[in-house]
Structures are given as structure tokens and as C-alpha cells.
């Protein structure tokens, strides 16, 4: 077996394959289909201070090689998550990355502080980029100044590895990535979903209850790959890449352009065992080529 370990600040991942928030539940949902201990880690469903019911109406619609979702960050809230969910997932021998979001700086800070008290949580992923909540993440997600001050405020209350998840719905993602770095983030992860919509031409209504949703799946991979490449060149902190990863080839592409780790997203819906398959595939690929993971990462020729 190849040494696939990568480091995201002080968090060591046993391999660079993570699963993306919102596509992997809280973890146990996938137990019948894979061995979670074989993953580098997993990102939980986004947690808010209080429980949220999510958006009403139709929440997902398939598009060409992808899907739009407008779940609206439905989640059990931080109290239930820490008291009831964490004990059920604490035993996994893999990194637990808790994705979290709020509607104000105060709440971001409060939530980060509460989550940081749990010793089992390896890293926090701050969601500044959900397109599906009105006052929510994306209001913060486009303004570099806000990102920097918010990251700095959260940085003060947590010693955990702090990952800032960035929105692709900006003119220049390197500006928001640099802002997160300046605010003290240990890593950035990108891309979150691209804002899109779909209409039912028969009824002439929007299909999604929320009208707009986040586009994910293989359709967005070229955009994601470009943004990850640009960001990896623009910041010194590790970049975690995601966006349409569905095959080993996709994993390799993101690592080659400079991602230190990757997140598998909506492909988990198609094949709930895929994250383990990809981790094993990466192991075989490197073993066959007698290449190290560090040689692979950022190996793109410009």
C-alpha cells in the first residue's frame, strides 16, 4: 500500500479522498456501502446553531450530467448534532470535518466555539457559499473584506483546523481565497455549487420550490478544475478541490492542478460506495507508477 497521507495544517488525512458536505448525510447513512475508515475523512451535512427545516417544495432536479438542489441546509442543529450525532460517528477511524454556517458573524463565532469544544472533531469547514439560503452564506461569500474579518473572528475562537469553503459565484475566486488566507484559514475548499435554475416549460413555472438552486455533478468539473488550479497558485495554504468528481481520472486531475485533497460530492448519490473505490483506485495508480502522492499533487506542466 502506498503512503497516501496528506496534511491539511495539523490534520493528517490517511488519504486525500473526502466526501463533500450535503452529499454524505452525517456519515452512518453510507455504512452499508463502504468502510468509512478507508476514507481520508468526511464532511458532515452543514450544521447551524439552531435546527433548520430547509426549503419547501421540490428540492432537486436533474440536469445534463448533473443536478440542481435547493435543500436549504436542512439540519438537526448544533445541540442535537453534538449530543446525539457525534457519539454515533466518533468511533470512525477517519477525519470528521464539520461543515457549519450561520447568518451573522456573532452566530458564526458562537457556533465555531461550541463545535471546538468537542475533542473528536478534526476540522471545521466554514460554509460561506450556500446559494440556497436567503440571508445565508452567500451574502458573505462574495465580499473579500467580509470573508477576511469573519475568518479572523472565527479563527480567534477555534484551534481546530479551519477550512473556508468558497463560492464559485464570484468574478475572481483568488480574491476570496486570499481573503480567507489573510483571515487565518488553514485551508480553502472549492467549489461549492454554481447558482442555476430550471423551468417547467409546460406549466411555465420554476421547477425548484426555491426557484434557484446549486448546480453540481460532472457538468461543473471543468469550471471547478480551473478555479482550483488558479487558487492553488494564488494561496500558500492547502486547497481542497471539488466539483463533479465521479471517476479516478477526475480525482487525479484535481490533484495534478494542485489540490491537496478532494471531496466527492453528488457522485455519492449515484454510487454510495464510490469514495472508497476512488481511494483504492488512487492507491493502485500511485503504486503502479511508483509515484508518491506529493509528486502527483501540483504536477501540472505549465
Partner 1 sequence: MQRSIVTKIADLMQVSNDAFLLAAPFESEPLPGQFVMLSFGDGRTDPFLPRPISIFDWEGGMLTLLIRVVGRGTLLMAHQAVGMPVRVTGPLGNSFPDEAGRVFFIGGGIGIAPLYYAAKRSHAKNKAFILGFRSAEESYLTDDYLKVADTHFVSDDGSLGVKLFPHEKLDALVKAGEKPDLVIACGPEKMMAAVHEVAKKHGIRDIHSLESRMGCGIGACLGCRVQMPGASVLVCKEGPVFDGSIFEEKK
User: Which positions are annotated as active-site residues?
Assistant: 130
Query: Does 269 engage in binding with partner 1 (CB under 8 A)?
Result: yes
- Contact with partner 1 (CB under 8 A) among 33, 35, 143, 195: 33
Sequence-ordered strand ranges (E) for the chain: 6-8, 11-13, 17-19, 41-43, 60-63, 66-69, 95-100, 123-127, 161-165, 187-190, 194-197, 199-200, 205-206, 212-216, 239-242, 261-264
Toward partner 1, which CB reaches closer, 67 or 261? 67
| Distance from C-alpha of 110 to C-alpha of 131, rounded to nearest angstrom | 22
State the minimum distance, in angstroms, from the CB of residue 48 to partner 1: 14
Residues 6+ apart with CB under 8 A from 239: 177, 187, 188, 189, 190, 228, 231, 232, 258, 259, 260
Q: How far is the CB of 3 from partner 1 (least distance, A)?
A: 29
Q: How far apart are CA 10 and CA 134, in angstroms?
A: 34
Residues 178-237 that bind partner 1 (CB under 8 A): 217-219
Q: From the list 13, 39, 41, 59, which residue makes contact with partner 1 (rule: CB under 8 A)?
A: 59
Footprint of partner 1 on residues 236-265 (CB under 8 A)?
A: 246-247
Is the CB of 180 or the CB of 246 nearer to partner 1?
246
Separation CA 185–CA 244 (nearest Å): 24
Does 23 contact partner 1 by CB under 8 A?
yes
Instruction: Report the alpha-carbon distance of residue 19 to residue 21 in Å, rounded.
Output: 7
Q: How far is the CB of 231 from partner 1 (least distance, A)?
A: 24
137 makes contact with partner 1 (CB under 8 A): no
Is 111 in contact with 48 (CB distance < 8 Å)? yes
Stretches 5-13, 20-28, 252-260, 294-302: which one binds partner 1 (CB under 8 A)? Answer: 20-28
Closest approach of Cβ 43 to partner 1, in Å? 12
Q: In this chain, which stretch among 57-65, 103-111, 138-146, 182-190 interacts with partner 1, using CB under 8 A? A: 57-65
Calpha distance 47→183 (Å, rounded) = 22
Site size toward partner 1, by CB under 8 A: 37
Residue whose entry in the numeric block shows the C-alpha cell 479516478: 248
Applying CB under 8 A, which of residues 18, 36, 39, 67 lies at the interface with partner 1?
67
Task: Please pick, from the candidates 2, 9, 12, 25, the single residue that binds partner 1 as defined by CB under 8 A.
Answer: 25
Pick the piece of the chain touching partner 1 (CB under 8 A) from 53-61, 93-101, 172-180, 184-192.
Answer: 53-61
Closest CA to 259 of 229, 284, 295: 229
CA distance to 60, 115, 124, 180, 276, per residue, from 271 (Å): 17, 30, 26, 33, 10
Residue of the chain from 49, 71, 227, 262 that contacts partner 1 (CB under 8 A): 71
Helices then strands, counting H and E runs in the chain, come out as 11, 16
Residues lying near partner 1 in the complex (CB under 8 A): 22-25, 29-30, 32-33, 45, 53-54, 56, 58-67, 69, 71, 74, 217-219, 246-247, 266, 268-273
Amino acid at each position: 500500500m502506498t503512503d497516501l497521507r496528506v496534511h491539511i495544517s495539523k490534520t493528517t488525512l490517511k488519504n486525500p479522498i473526502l466526501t463533500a458536505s450535503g452529499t454524505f448525510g452525517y456519515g452512518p447513512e453510507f455504512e452499508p456501502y463502504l468502510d468509512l475508515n478507508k476514507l481520508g475523512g468526511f464532511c458532515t451535512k452543514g450544521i447551524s446553531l439552531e435546527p433548520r427545516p430547509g426549503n419547501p417544495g421540490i428540492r432537486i432536479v436533474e440536469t445534463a450530467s448533473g443536478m440542481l438542489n435547493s435543500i436549504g441546509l436542512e439540519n438537526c442543529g448544533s445541540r442535537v448534532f453534538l449530543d446525539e450525532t457525534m457519539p454515533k460517528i466518533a468511533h470512525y477511524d477517519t477525519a470528521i470535518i464539520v461543515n457549519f454556517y450561520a447568518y451573522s458573524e456573532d452566530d458564526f463565532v458562537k457556533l465555531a466555539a461550541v463545535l471546538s469544544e468537542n475533542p473528536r472533531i478534526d476540522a471545521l469547514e466554514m460554509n460561506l457559499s450556500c446559494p440556497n439560503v436567503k440571508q445565508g452564506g452567500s451574502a458573505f461569500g462574495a465580499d473579500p473584506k467580509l470573508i477576511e474579518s469573519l475568518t479572523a473572528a472565527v479563527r480567534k475562537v477555534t484551534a481546530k483546523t479551519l477550512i473556508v469553503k468558497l463560492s464559485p459565484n464570484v468574478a475572481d475566486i483568488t480574491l476570496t481565497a486570499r481573503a480567507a488566507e489573510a483571515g487565518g484559514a488553514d485551508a480553502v475548499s472549492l467549489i461549492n455549487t454554481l447558482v442555476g435554475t430550471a423551468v417547467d416549460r409546460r406549466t411555465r413555472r420554476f421547477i425548484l420550490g426555491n426557484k434557484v438552486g446549486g448546480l453540481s455533478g460532472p457538468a461543473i468539473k471543468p469550471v471547478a478544475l480551473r478555479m482550483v488550479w488558479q487558487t492553488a497558485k494564488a494561496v500558500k495554504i492547502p486547497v481542497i478541490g471539488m466539483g463533479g468528481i465521479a471517476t479516478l481520472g477526475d480525482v487525479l486531475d484535481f490533484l495534478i492542478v494542485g489540490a491537496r485533497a478532494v471531496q466527492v460530492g453528488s457522485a455519492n448519490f449515484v454510487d454510495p460506495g464510490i469514495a472508497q473505490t476512488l481511494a483504492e483506485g488512487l492507491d493502485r495508480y500511485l503504486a503502479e507508477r511508483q509515484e508518491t502522492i506529493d509528486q502527483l499533487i501540483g504536477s501540472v506542466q505549465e
